[in-house]
Amino acid sequence: MKADLVIKNGWVVTPQDTFRGGVAIAQEKFVAIGTDDSLPDGKEVIDAKGRHILPGLIDAHVHFRDPGMTYKEDFSTGSTAAVCGGITTVVDMPNVIPPTADAEQVGVKQRLAEEKSLVDFGVLGVVVQTNADHILPMAQAGVIGYKIFFGETIGNLPFPDDGMCIEAFSNITKSKLPLGIHAENRQIQHYWTNKLKAEGKNDPVSWEQSRPYLCEAESVAHALFFAEALGTKLHIFHMSTKQAAQMVKDAKARGLRVTAETGPHYLLREPNDMAKVGSLLKMNPPVRTKDHAEVLWDGLIKGYVDMIATDHSPHTLEEKGSDINGKLLKPAIWDCISGFCGVETGVPLILTEVNKGRMSLNQYVKVACENPARVWQIYPRKGAIRLGSDGDITIVDMDKEATIDAAKLHSKNKPTPWNGWKVKGVPVCTIVRGHVQMRDGEPVGKPIGRMQKPILDS
Ligand code: DOR
Ligand code: ZN
């Protein structure tokens, strides 16, 4: 019997191994993995031409803005940017309008994303002060996990107070799903923002000081305390500091089920870069000095930082208060919105670091495929080249050089702090469950994306 799609003549990369050959996919699943001569015939055959065949890459932190903020991005444009960036599965954030805070809104997001998405996706439910009773129904409706915005950010969602946190964390524990947190302490961010404003420090490089490392670290400590007491699986989104990384490392050593994500901007940028690109690099939490990045890299390699995700968070340039090159158009950094595009640039940026020897391609597959799938409990359906797993593949050309061009991004709005960055290592083909969704940088697929429900034992 012929497979639907055979990809051959490449190097198959897993976290453990790299071997010559390819894969075969039938009915959306891997049916053969091995040397070229061991693969069945295919109705369609892709010659990888000696390039690397990776498990489909996962970006477990995107804001596709659907519903309610589709003037910034929507599931169609966001997922187009994703496949062009080599991504096959995303986890979408709940700070939309209305927020994804009950089972009904989970259904709303599932329906509109399944109409529009080129990639598979997980949906998160947000937990605020008032929706404790909606936590378990959201699990029934298929969320992959939950999010609490301890820090104030886009959407200005209220966070549960410490009393409600006991109920929230307990209910989340019952759901067996992870709780991801935006870890920033609001008192610290408010105090320092007001102080800097009063001192007239309005320039972009002041941004980091308004949310100093303790702002993140205190919030991580707080949530770890509740998670340990109440047995909750805790995940730290967009971790930016060495102090938080150390806490996660210690908590893992104590046997807690705590995981962490960081992003390309925390690994490769620093506050002084905001003198050059201004508000285009404004993000919550802010980028930090190199000593933090060193620890985050160490964590990715040693395993106490679990994954890289981009926090793709588009806004209009008008909201950013910037032109596409980073010229500030507003008088103060405080008036510019936080967040920028990432889903299309994250893979080439990190592949460039792989080429420089910062990590191996096998380690990259671990932190960009296997670990995100494990944390969000969709492994081994996702995140693995394994017989029976979903036939998701990203083919990358490790020798191809390119320059990131903001104007060419596929997002609806294109603010990026990476414009003009030279990269070596580029995704050239993105395959979601056997469907070719991108070739040579161009979207070629249809909206076949499906919501990913977690695989729960018992
Ligand atoms: O800077 C940010 N922007 N940080 C977040 O946590 C949210 C994001 C957004 O939604 O734009
Ligand atoms: Zn985010």
Ligand nearest to the CA of 285: 1
What pLDDT does residue 458 have? 57
What pLDDT does residue 157 have? 84
**Cα(251)–Cα(233) distance, integer angstroms:** 12
Q: Which atom of ligand 1 is nearest to the CA of 149?
A: 6
Question: Does ligand 1 lie within 6 Å of residue 233's CB atom?
Answer: no
Token pair of 385 as six digits: 């080249």
Question: Does ligand 1 lie within 6 Å of residue 279's CB atom?
Answer: no
Q: Which domains are assigned to the chain?
A: 3-53+387-398+423-443 (2.30.40.10), 56-375 (3.20.20.140)
Question: Does ligand 1 lie within 6 Å of residue 154's CB atom?
Answer: yes
Q: What is the pLDDT of residues 20-50, one digit of tens each?
A: 999 999 999 999 999 999 999 999 999 999 9
Question: Does ligand 1 lie within 6 Å of residue 414's CB atom?
Answer: no
Query: What is the Å distance from ligand 2's center to 248 Cα?
Result: 19
Cα dihedral across residues 135, 136, 138, 143: positive or negative? positive
Task: Quickly count: other Cβ atoms within 10 Å of residue 67's Cβ.
Answer: 18
**Cα(389)–Cα(29) distance, integer angstroms:** 5
Select from 65, 259, 299 the least CA-distant residue to 177. 259
Ligand nearest to the CA of 93: 2
Question: Does ligand 1 lie within 6 Å of residue 283's CB atom?
Answer: yes
Protein residue whose Cα sits closest to atom 4 of ligand 1: 284
Protein residue whose Cα sits closest to atom 3 of ligand 1: 339
Q: Which atom of ligand 1 is nearest to the CA of 95?
A: 10
Query: What is the Å distance from ligand 1's center to 97 Cα?
Result: 14
Q: Which of 236, 338, 411, 412 for a ligand 1 pocket mutation test, highest count of atoms within 8 Å of Cβ?
A: 338
Query: What is the Å distance from ligand 2's center to 106 Cα?
Result: 18
Ligand nearest to the CA of 59: 2
Instruction: Tally the C-alpha atoms within 13 A of residue 224's C-alpha that lie toward its C-beta.
Output: 23
Secondary element (H or E) of residue 34:
strand 29-34
Question: Does ligand 1 lie within 6 Å of residue 240's CB atom?
Answer: no
Question: Does ligand 1 lie within 6 Å of residue 341's CB atom?
Answer: no
Low-confidence ranges of the chain (pLDDT < 70): 458
Q: What is the pLDDT of residues 132-162, one digit of tens each?
A: 999 999 999 999 999 999 988 887 888 899 9
Q: Which of 311, 320, 337, 416 for a ligand 1 pocket mutation test, highest count of atoms within 8 Å of Cβ?
A: 311
Question: Does ligand 1 lie within 6 Å of residue 95's CB atom?
Answer: yes
DSSP one-letter string for 369-415: IIHHHHHTT-TTTSS---TTSB--EEEEEEEEEEE--GGG--SSS--
